[in-house]
Amino acid sequence: MSTPVARFPRPAWPWSRSTARRWNCPRGSAPACPTARSRSNSVTAGPRRGRSPPAFVARGATCERGRGRYQIVSTQNHWSLEGRETIIREADKPAWDKYGDELKVKPDPIYGEPVISLNFAERLGELSHTPENRSIYDNPYNTSPDAPDAETLTKDHLGRPIPPQFSRGPQWGMTIDMSTCTGCGVCTIACQAENNIPVVGKREVAKGREMHWIRVDRYFLGDDLDHPEGLAYQPIACVHCENAPCEVVCPVNATVHDDEGLNAMVYNRCIGTRYCSNNCPYKVRRFNFFDYSQAKFKAGSPLTEAVGVEIPNENFIPPRLRKKLDEIQKMKMNPDVTVRGRGVMEKCTYCVQRINRARYELKLQDISPADMPDGFFQAACQQACPSQSIAFGNILDETSKVAEARKNGRSFGLLNYINTRPRTNHLLRVRNPNPKLRKPYDEPFHHGKHDDHGEGHGDDHGSDHGDSHGGDHGSDHGSDHGSDHGETHGAATKRRTLKLPVLGEVATVPTAQDLLMKHATGGLA
Amino acid sequence: MSSIHPDKVTAERLAGVQGGPQSPSVAGEPIGDGTLIEDPRVRAPLVLNDRSFGEVTDIVCGYTENKPGKWWLPAVLLCASVAGLLPLMIGFLVITGVGVWGLNNQVNWAWDITNFVFWIGSGHAGTLISAILCIFKQNWRTAVNRSAEAMTIFAVICAGIFPGIHVGRVWFAWFLFPIPNYNYIWPNFRSPLLWDVFAVSTYATVSLLFWYMGMIPDLATLRDRADRRLRLGTQAKNFPFLPFGSDHLRAYGYGVLSQGWRFSSRHWIRYETAYLLLAGISTPLVLSVHSIVSFDFATSVVPGWHTTIFPPYFVAGAIFGGFAMVLLLLIPARLLFPNFKDFLTLKHLETMAKIILVTGKMVGFAYSMEFFIAWYGGNAFELYAFLGNRVDPRLAPYWWAYWAMIFCNVVTPQVFWFRAMRTNPMVFWIVAAFVTGGMWFERFVIIVTSLHRGWLPGEWHMFYPTLVDIGTFVGSIGLFLMLFLLFLRFLPVFAIAELKAVLPQASPHPDHHEGDHGADDKVPHQDPINAAKGAH
């Protein structure tokens, strides 16, 4: 490799067209490719030199400083959690072993009586500091113990009363297990295929308009982007809040709550004020800024190819003529799901088309949907997930996987602190770090012991919780990082036997160096 | 002198053929144009140069009757061409999609709602001047109330454009209104956007009624003057190739608009009653409309938006920005129109500077309270909305917008502590320009900086405006200025009737010397009752 290394582009303003040049490395034109050269590309330039094998291996690649800028766009744009550990909650296995099954009864600070209990995951986050959502008004969306039928209301496993309108099945819910999630992102693709989600193209992704209904947020742990200490990822789709902030603010009632717990987006009523998306704390709502589904802005559309002429703005073509020319495009769509037009908001629907299909099937058998057997159908993301991290089904069905997963001490509602009451719970990730790499954190509720960093920083302090999370964490990470790192690095370089807790027992495993020594001394047994 | 048996001087004054009483003599030099009086016992004259009723009428009607200055036509043409940008941009937007703006799934509102709140806020000063100051019986308002109300109307027009066009499907914007439809669905009354629809449309309606109704006597004056010229044969020349001239158009146009106003006492009684009623209705609107607009933000869960200080903060900011905008328009008018300075005196400027200073301090207090409560409340997300989204240049990419806002809104009006600055029109205009820009930045900061970094860092995304964003805003500025220039030319710029009512010679109380200390009045005081009884 010749020096210097390939040049990285400066971050370019997204709409700057000059930066979005197309880079081709056509065969034979290697000299025209400014950033990278590979001799294997110059297939036509004379006889093959040496004995470099064909096709898959090439030698002699060089990197040269290029000219110009090339814009790279990504949907996973932010790498830092910014100290917001209530979003991605993690715990180390020792902490989970110690406290995982505990349910802490939380007294209501206003009325004094014990109201709900918090599981392990919720104790780690900010929910522990919010007062119980009680109202003096009888609001069907906000059932309180003072409501008329409060005593007769069923309560979930944490003692929270289930609002009366959600007490008859089926009530759809989901859990996403972040311990088994590998961050592969196939849920995003499956959802895209199932729901006719348009591909918006590079220019629009640069502006932040990708249409993925479920996305995997990826964060690097640690302080240094170049040397991250770990990776955390979290798939997020619409969590179908029981107390949805989006429903309140839509001026035309285009997003409403149905009686099975789904937050229903009504495309034909939506006029596109986008307030729902502003108010969604999870930012899972996707707006059709252009007519993405028909690819009707700028070049590259099948319509242009069909007509044969570059059409500057295809909105000028009358709709019926457009439809005629787009027949083939229709074949790639899922006929069970509509295609959204320009100016409407869309979001995850818990695959309502699959729910409805399942309901029809059961109706043909004269079975009530509340008695739907668990696993009768699957959501698209659930179906595609290779590690089966997503459980989806009727949460009132005690035998369903999703009900079981919700009872798990690892389950928490993302941002439930603002009382959205999400139906999709995330299960926190339990890490089992090798003690040689770092010391596992086993006291997650005791703030102040910053022996370790990154995971499981929860506590049940009072008022300074939020403040310390926001302000101090950056600095704490920095200071601990320095001290810890030196220590563990030093330890790792020494020859030590590793102690692994295997099945509860500690087994002594020799290091590679031990084995080599034994081999060298002929003592291999 | 008595009002029942007026002396000759008073009689002539009341008939409008003589100037008013002389300017009050003050201890020491009169400052400025004679209205900046140090002695608090002396009320400053509201109209300079001892204008009589007739002179007031002639001057103000002269703005519409005489040829405007050479500057007027080029200014209108320039503003009209800038305003022409607006329908082009809107057309492009509606045909192509909201994506022509720089919005994305994180920042769903940016310039569109910033402009909306900016314009609607600017309009509030007019209503305050007209309605609230009327109820407080602040007579100095008569110099600005007509123009300020006009500014309100035009600002509301510009404001109303933006919510209409910012929706993704403009052709369905009628869904917002609670009218019967075949889907049997009402709009969502829990939504602040719907409250906006009602608030802004109420505000527009009431402001328009108030402005128009207040103008009726003045329009009738213009009508009658044109009519008299027609009857006396001194009307303007006919237009080329047409059988009528501008006075015919005036008589007809103003005649229709004045709706048969006869200047009778009956009309005046009803006018005053209606005026007070509309002032009473408009007064709560000043407070409520912008509070409801602030609910667009305050009722959401977005950190940086969800604060209870927004309603009073927005209302104070609206008055602040609105006063600045009124003066941004009227101070050049002072220079460009003849005799304008007699009506809009330095005293008026000084009073309005004080209001700007007060509301500016309220706004500054609100800024600091927002930040303080974000810290004191212990909410990390809310605190980060300040530190990371706005204040800290190391963290916040929009820090320059926040600090521009602080400088323009909090720092620049502080010059008004000094009297020399308050009474200097050039300084005033510069400060007003800064404040107007600062208020735009305030709404930009509130909307964009809060949205671009929300709860989940994985979705943080920057916002960059596109040319269409900028063009739409510039076009709305052009529309506003064009409408205001047309107003200056074709409608009575001052409230003639009200202005005359606050002249000293209009006071019905003989003993109540409005600025007249009788120093030059040689007629001795007469007791009317005893005089009638013959006692001397």
Share above pLDDT 90 across residues of chain A, in percent, rounded to a whole number? 33
Ramachandran quadrant class, B233 (left: phi over 0; alpha: psi -120 to 50; beta: rest): left
pLDDT value at residue A329: 63
What DSSP letter does each residue of B88-146 carry, written as one string?
Answer: HHHHHHHHH-GGGSS--SS---SHHHHHHHHHHHHTHHHHIIIIIHHHTT-GGGGGTHH
**Cα–Cα distance measured from residue B137 to residue B230, given in angstroms and rounded to the nearest whole number:** 38
Which ipTM was obtained for this model? 0.87
pLDDT value at residue A495: 38
Using an 8 Å CB-CB cutoff, list chain A residues near B187: 251-253
For chain B positions 51-80, those within 8 Å of chain A (CB to CB) are none
Choose among A76, A208, A470: nearest Cβ to B105: A208
pLDDT value at residue B116: 97
Residue of B nearest to A253 (CA): B188
Instruction: Read off the pLDDT of residues A336-377 as tens digits, 9 standing for 90 and up.
Output: 998 899 999 999 999 999 999 999 999 999 999 888 899 999
pLDDT value at residue A297: 42
* Identity at A445, one-letter amino acid code: F
Using an 8 Å CB-CB cutoff, list chain B residues near A311: none
Instruction: Read off the pLDDT of residues A49-88 as tens digits, 9 standing for 90 and up.
Output: 555 556 678 788 888 888 998 888 888 877 788 878 788 8
pLDDT value at residue B511: 56
Inter-residue contact A400 to A393 (CB < 8 Å): yes
Choose among A273, A345, A415: nearest Cβ to B193: A273
Count of pairs with CB atoms under 8 A, one residue in A, one in B: 200
Using an 8 Å CB-CB cutoff, list chain A residues near B454: 281, 283
Longest dimension (CA), chain A: 89
Residue of A nearest to B385 (CA): A470
Inter-residue contact A415 to A190 (CB < 8 Å): no
Instruction: Read off the pLDDT of residues A251-268 as tens digits, 9 standing for 90 and up.
Output: 999 999 988 999 999 999
Inter-residue contact A304 to B324 (CB < 8 Å): no
Q: A407-411, B216-220, B499-503 — which one is most confidently predicted on average?
A: B216-220
Instruction: Read off the pLDDT of residues A419-444 as tens digits, 9 standing for 90 and up.
Output: 888 999 999 999 998 888 888 888 87
pLDDT value at residue A106: 74
pLDDT value at residue A223: 77
Binary contact (A270, B99; C-beta < 8 A): no
Question: Between the CA atoms of A84, A85, A86 and A89, what dihedral angle is there, to the nearest 10 degrees?
Answer: 150
Choose among A269, A277, A463: nearest Cβ to B108: A277
Min Cα distance B138 → chain A (Å) is 40
Residue of B nearest to A470 (CA): B380
> With 80 as the cut, is the pLDDT of residue A460 above it?
no
pLDDT value at residue B197: 94
Q: Does A267 touch chain B (CB under 8 A)?
A: no
Phi, psi dihedrals of residue B78, rounded to the nearest 5°: -65, -45
pLDDT band at A453 (very low <50, low <70, confident <90, very high): very low
Q: How far is CA B398 from CA B187, B203, B467, in A?
A: 36, 33, 19
Using an 8 Å CB-CB cutoff, list chain B residues near A255: none
What DSSP letter does each residue of A438-478 carry, written as one string?
Answer: SPPP--TT-TT-TTS-SS------STHHHHHHHHHHHHHHH
Reference B458, options A423, A345, A214; nearest CA is: A214
Binary contact (A87, B455; C-beta < 8 A): yes
The set of residues, in sequence order, having a beta carbon less than 8 Å from that of A301 and lying 6+ positions away, is: A294, A295, A314
pLDDT value at residue A221: 84
**Cα–Cα distance measured from residue A400 to residue A169, given in angstroms and rounded to the nearest whole number:** 13
Binary contact (A281, B301; C-beta < 8 A): yes
Inter-residue contact A61 to A36 (CB < 8 Å): yes
Q: What is the average per-residue pLDDT within A435-456? A: 62
Tokens standing for residue A74? 């990504």
- How many other C-beta atoms can be found within 10 angstroms of the C-beta atom of residue B417? 11
Min Cα distance B51 → chain A (Å) is 54
The set of residues, in sequence order, having a beta carbon less than 8 Å from that of B483 and lying 6+ positions away, is: B154, B157
Choose among A13, A252, A289: nearest Cβ to B98: A289
Binary contact (A297, B96; C-beta < 8 A): yes
pLDDT value at residue B285: 92
Using an 8 Å CB-CB cutoff, list chain A residues near B193: 249, 251, 273, 275
Q: Does A275 touch chain B (CB under 8 A)?
A: yes
Min Cα distance A293 → chain B (Å) is 13
Binary contact (A84, B185; C-beta < 8 A): no
pLDDT band at A519 (very low <50, low <70, confident <90, very high): low
Q: What is the average per-residue pLDDT within A35-50? A: 43
pLDDT value at residue B82: 97
Reference B516, options B7, B136, B10; nearest CA is: B10
Binary contact (B459, A217; C-beta < 8 A): yes
DSSP state of B177: S
Instruction: Read off the pLDDT of residues B397-443 as tens digits, 9 standing for 90 and up.
Output: 999 999 999 999 999 999 999 999 999 999 999 999 999 999 999 99
For chain A positions 375-394, those within 8 Å of chain B (CB to CB) are none
Residue B233 burial (C-beta neighbours within 10 Å; 0-12, 13-18, 19+): exposed
pLDDT band at B394 (very low <50, low <70, confident <90, very high): confident
Higher pLDDT, B191 or A504: B191
Using an 8 Å CB-CB cutoff, list chain B residues near A271: 167-170, 172-173, 175-176
Q: Does B166 touch chain A (CB under 8 A)?
A: yes
Q: Which helix (H) or strand (E) holds B278?
A: helix B265-298
pLDDT value at residue B236: 86
Using an 8 Å CB-CB cutoff, list chain B residues near A82: 384, 388, 457
Binary contact (B451, A81; C-beta < 8 A): no
Reference A256, options A272, A271, A278, A240; nearest CA is: A240
Choose among B168, B188, B193: nearest Cβ to A287: B168
- Name A104's bridge partners: A118
> With 80 as the cut, is the pLDDT of residue A470 above it?
no
The set of residues, in sequence order, having a beta carbon less than 8 Å from that of B386 and lying 6+ positions away, is: B304, B370, B371, B374, B375
Residue B372 burial (C-beta neighbours within 10 Å; 0-12, 13-18, 19+): exposed
Using an 8 Å CB-CB cutoff, list chain A residues near B461: 77, 208
> With 70 as the cut, is the pLDDT of residue B348 above it?
yes
Mean pLDDT taken over chain A = 73
> With 80 as the cut, is the pLDDT of residue B209 above it?
yes
Mean pLDDT taken over chain B = 89
pLDDT band at B76 (very low <50, low <70, confident <90, very high): very high
Phi, psi dihedrals of residue A283, rounded to the nearest 5°: 50, 55
For chain B positions 188-207, those within 8 Å of chain A (CB to CB) are 188, 190-194, 197
pLDDT value at residue A19: 37
**Cα–Cα distance measured from residue B338 to residue B342, given in angstroms and rounded to the nearest whole number:** 9
Task: Give the angle B440-B446-B447 at the CA atoms, nearest 5°.
Answer: 90
Least confident stretch, A146-150, A296-300, A490-494, B91-95: A490-494
Longest dimension (CA), chain B: 94
Instruction: Read off the pLDDT of residues B248-303 as tens digits, 9 standing for 90 and up.
Output: 999 999 999 999 999 999 999 999 999 999 999 999 998 999 999 999 999 999 99
Q: Give the pairing of strands A215-221 and A230-236.
A: antiparallel
Binary contact (B381, A470; C-beta < 8 A): yes
pLDDT value at residue A483: 32
pLDDT value at residue B22: 53
Peptide bond connecting A34 to the previous residue in cis, omega within 30 degrees of 0: no
**Cα–Cα distance measured from residue B339 to residue B342, given in angstroms and rounded to the nearest whole number:** 5
**Cα–Cα distance measured from residue B221 to residue B214, given in angstroms and rounded to the nearest whole number:** 13
Tokens standing for residue B234? 């001194």
Reference B73, options B494, B482, B493; nearest CA is: B482
pLDDT band at B232 (very low <50, low <70, confident <90, very high): very high
Instruction: Read off the pLDDT of residues A491-510 as tens digits, 9 standing for 90 and up.
Output: 333 334 444 444 444 444 55
Q: What is the average per-residue pLDDT within B158-170? A: 96
> With 60 as the cut, is the pLDDT of residue A524 above it?
no
> With 80 as the cut, is the pLDDT of residue A94 above it?
yes
Higher pLDDT, B196 or A418: B196
Q: Does A200 touch chain B (CB under 8 A)?
A: no
For chain B positions 346-385, those within 8 Å of chain A (CB to CB) are 375, 378-381, 383-384
pTM here? 0.81
- Of chain A, the end-to-end C-alpha distance in Å amounts to 45
> With 90 as the cut, is the pLDDT of residue A227 above it?
no
Using an 8 Å CB-CB cutoff, list chain A residues near B379: 466
Reference A376, options A387, A365, B387; nearest CA is: A365
Q: What share of chain A is helix, strand, coil (3-state, %, to 5)?
A: 25, 15, 60
Interface test with chain A among B111, B386, B389, B459, by most A beta carbons within 10 Å: B459
Q: A310-324, B11-25, B108-122 — which one is most confidently predicted on average?
A: B108-122
Inter-residue contact A277 to A265 (CB < 8 Å): no
Q: Does A84 touch chain B (CB under 8 A)?
A: yes
Residue of B nearest to A80 (CA): B457
pLDDT band at B494 (very low <50, low <70, confident <90, very high): very high
Binary contact (A467, B378; C-beta < 8 A): yes
- How many other C-beta atoms can be found within 10 angstroms of the C-beta atom of residue A424? 26
Q: Does A234 touch chain B (CB under 8 A)?
A: yes
Min Cα distance B273 → chain A (Å) is 37
Reference A32, options A7, A69, A66, A71; nearest CA is: A66
Higher pLDDT, A402 or B39: A402
Least confident stretch, A13-22, A177-186, A418-427, B406-415: A13-22
Q: How far is CA B416 from CA A333, B33, B317, B410, in A?
A: 65, 19, 17, 11
Inter-residue contact B148 to B323 (CB < 8 Å): no
Long-range contacts of A479-485 (CB under 8 A, 24+ apart): A479/A450, A480/A450, A480/A451, A480/A452, A480/A453, A481/A222, A481/A223, A481/A229, A481/A453, A484/A438, A484/A439, A484/A451, A484/A452, A484/A453
Residue A334 burial (C-beta neighbours within 10 Å; 0-12, 13-18, 19+): middle
Inter-residue contact A161 to A155 (CB < 8 Å): yes
> With 70 as the cut, is the pLDDT of residue A236 above it?
yes
Binary contact (A415, B105; C-beta < 8 A): no
Residue of A nearest to B454 (CA): A281
